[in-house]
Structure 1
């Protein structure tokens, strides 16, 4: 055997070993957390996805998963997390009924599956035939499904252009995008409560080692008594430094004043002292709950120190 032939064989063997080992290691690594991300990215906020992708190891990912569902637990004092259970039920449902013979084939990656996972079952669902223009400008018969969500005031139209069981949402409008952003935080909510409660809104900022939360009065439910009015809040705070969670806390804030004083204010200001010790990029994940109405909301604040 010549020297050149020997080198070629060695190179081929080395390439074969790398090809056999590297991809397998990648596929088998952290199947639990990878499966979690594949599905929950549907309901993740952009900042959450960014944090998750930068987590250094399995332990950090498991801690993230625990906190991810904790933040979405509508009844934290009980063993069951209705949001998590409802999410898993919807994933199972769409994987059974909305599979399509394209891409991965998984139901929760189809247009109908994504909408169902995010918004739940429509109040009305009808199927039928319609028509659309093909690329040559000619009318073409298509299959269609119409989904109606009364609470979100949405009418969604899914079109199967080739009658192969592959449905595409015709229009992603702003009303749908707003509904999706709201649903990412609260998948499970009782219908009657959803109609009664106005979505709590607040604006966070950070200045002079204080987290400042401004809540418009019109979004607050007050406890009114003879001697004045009061409001009660619970705040859950998760703090990340350079994409790594460094702290978390739960605090309560009570605000009391005369009725006249509240009427003359547009906002209530809540403050939480917090000292930043290390330079870098910070992410504050903030959940504020109005303890009187039960309404809650969530905001992310990026801060460079």
Structure 2
């Protein structure tokens, strides 16, 4: 029991650190122009640490503008439409948070506002103005059935300011959902699937190797084979932040069902030459025919 409590305490520290960090100022290495600063002010909510490191080391306005274009494009759930549904939803949630969760500071900077921006409107809300705890003046509970999360916000001062209850359970699920949100995967429809994959760089063969667990895939049956088609988008940045390369590759998979049943993963190789150094590999995997979509960033040192 003590070990279990320690696990939840550690997770609580992590999730609170994630939320608190959103209110911290820019820690960039270079001075930002007004447009870049305005972008970073809110976009850092959904930036992962590698993206922050890249952005804060970009040397000029032009490279930052390129980063901003890529940042939204990578999160666009449907590149075939003119609108970027993710971007519109993101700013719509910020506007909603500012309207309904203001607590002496802009609503998007409050705990409720941040959770709303990450996860959207809850499926159920319970409000309890009076509970059997003299240190708590009010409690609001948000339930997200999709993520199996129940989040408690408590008012300890009686002034309508609510913070996440650090003693609640389901912290692990909340942390997982927030990480998905940063890649845009909590903004997509309920029917969408999450894909998983891993990446490594083979120095001897000079190849990028991507492996996809078979258990996370669905196939179409055609001509006695199980088939699947994939699109891979690669964005490669050097340690200093500058983009080194960007390219797209299409790959198809087709094997008899008996062979697929023997597989644990599907492996794709992409020839690519790298000089010694540190690189960020930002990979977007799109499975065709409703297979799903996934994105990950990996650090590779040579």
TM-score (norm 1): 0.83
The answer on whether the counterparts of 2:233 and 2:246 sit within 8 Å (CA) in structure 1 is: yes
The structure showing larger relative contact order (alpha-carbon pairs under 8 Å, at least 6 residues apart) is 2
Residue 131 of structure 1 deviates from its aligned partner by 3.9
Structure 1 segment 199-218 matched on structure 2, within 5 A: 199-207=194-202, 208-218=205-215
Partner of 1:93: 96
Structure 1 segment 123-142 matched on structure 2, within 5 A: 123-131=123-131, 139-142=134-137
Take 1:168 and 1:132, find their aligned partners in 2: how far apart are those partners?
18
> What secondary structure, in the 3-state scheme, does the structure 1 residue paired with 2:67 have?
helix
Residue 183 of structure 1 deviates from its aligned partner by 1.7
Q: Which runs of 5+ in 2 are unaligned?
A: 1-30
Partner of 1:80: 83
Decide which structure has the larger Cα Rg and report it: 1
1:147-196: per-residue Cα shift (whole Å, max 9, x none)?
Answer: 111111111110111111211000371110011111221242123x24xx
The answer on whether the counterparts of 2:218 and 2:291 sit within 8 Å (CA) in structure 1 is: no
Partner of 2:151: 156
Query: What RMSD over aligned residues (CA atoms) do the two structures have, in Å?
Result: 1.6
Partner of 2:285: 288
Residue 281 of structure 1 deviates from its aligned partner by 0.9
Q: Does 1:56 align with 2:55?
A: no
Take 2:111 and 2:99, find their aligned partners in 1: how far apart are those partners?
14
> Out of 179, 198, 217, which is 1:181 matched to?
179
Residue 294 of structure 1 deviates from its aligned partner by 4.3
Q: How many residues align?
A: 265
1:17-73: per-residue Cα shift (whole Å, max 9, x none)?
Answer: xxxxxxxxxxx9512211211211111111111111111111111110000000011
Residue 290 of structure 1 deviates from its aligned partner by 1.1
Moved over 4 A (4+): none
Take 1:141 and 1:67, find their aligned partners in 2: how far apart are those partners?
44
> What secondary structure, in the 3-state scheme, does the structure 2 residue paired with 1:65 have?
helix
Take 1:58 and 1:268, find their aligned partners in 2: how far apart are those partners?
40
Take 1:223 and 1:287, find their aligned partners in 2: how far apart are those partners?
22
